[in-house]
Amino acid sequence: MVAVSRESQFEELLKDAPDLLSLVVKAHYSIDQLLNVALLEALPKADAIELERVAFLLKVDFATGLGILRTDLRPVFNLINTIRNRFAHNPYTEFSVKDGLDAKNVLLSRLAPVVPDEFGDEREPREVLETLFAVGFVNVVVAHERLCIRKAESHVANQMVVETLSGTRASERRELSTQERFERRLKLYLEEHHPEMKRG
């Protein structure tokens, strides 16, 4: 059985939400939980912090300060949080055409594009809302995966250096280059420690 990617699960959550309240609350919660995962990975003593009690935007700021998230994405996460708060305080809130235009402006004003060109033609408020939350979610997924890969690369490289300096080598075929051995071991490490990540 092939594991469903986090992005596919999130996309299903957006499409299957029966109403905007459900969509907003569940999507925000999913991003918030993924931020927790990324911060737990990034912080050396993360267990000393009760991340569940830390505000969403403060988590975004931590992740940005640690170099996990791009700084230009702060307005996107700010808008995601603002919309979530509107719905949390009034479950009958609507996401109007004007709200959709405001969200489009935030998404389209990023220096590095976060949406495809055809998004500029999008008119339906719910679809704009889904795109907004998808952009937030995917950017946290990518940031988390990059962090995991950087840490794994460092771990594998350190392991290979220790083996080389101590004269012990893992039983790898001698005809493989150092780069090929590194890539093979990195792939195995990621499969073992981060099976949620799809590797090509």
Is the residue at 27 inside a domain? yes
Q: pLDDT tens digit string along 87-138?
A: 999 999 999 999 999 999 999 998 888 998 889 888 899 999 999 999 999 9
DSSP labels, 75-139: HHHHHHHHHHHHHHH-TT----HHHHHHHHHHHHT-SS--S-GGGGG---HHHHHHHHHHHHHHH
Number of domains in the chain: 1
pLDDT band at 61 (very low <50, low <70, confident <90, very high): very high
Is the residue at 20 inside a domain? yes
Is the residue at 16 inside a domain? yes
Region for residue 167 given its phi and psi (left: phi exceeds 0; alpha: psi -120 to 50; beta: otherwise): left
Is the residue at 187 inside a domain? no
| Structural domain harbouring 97 | 6-143
CA separation for the pair 181, 93 (Å, rounded): 56
Whether 129 and 22 have beta carbons less than 8 Å apart is answered as: no
Is the residue at 156 inside a domain? no
Q: 16 versus 52: which is more confidently predicted?
A: 16
Is the residue at 166 inside a domain? no
Region for residue 54 given its phi and psi (left: phi exceeds 0; alpha: psi -120 to 50; beta: otherwise): beta
Task: Tell me what pLDDT residue 198 has.
Answer: 64
Task: Tell me what pLDDT residue 172 has.
Answer: 56
Is the residue at 120 inside a domain? yes
Question: Residue 46 sits in a domain of what CATH number?
Answer: 1.20.120.330
Task: Tell me what pLDDT residue 178 has.
Answer: 87
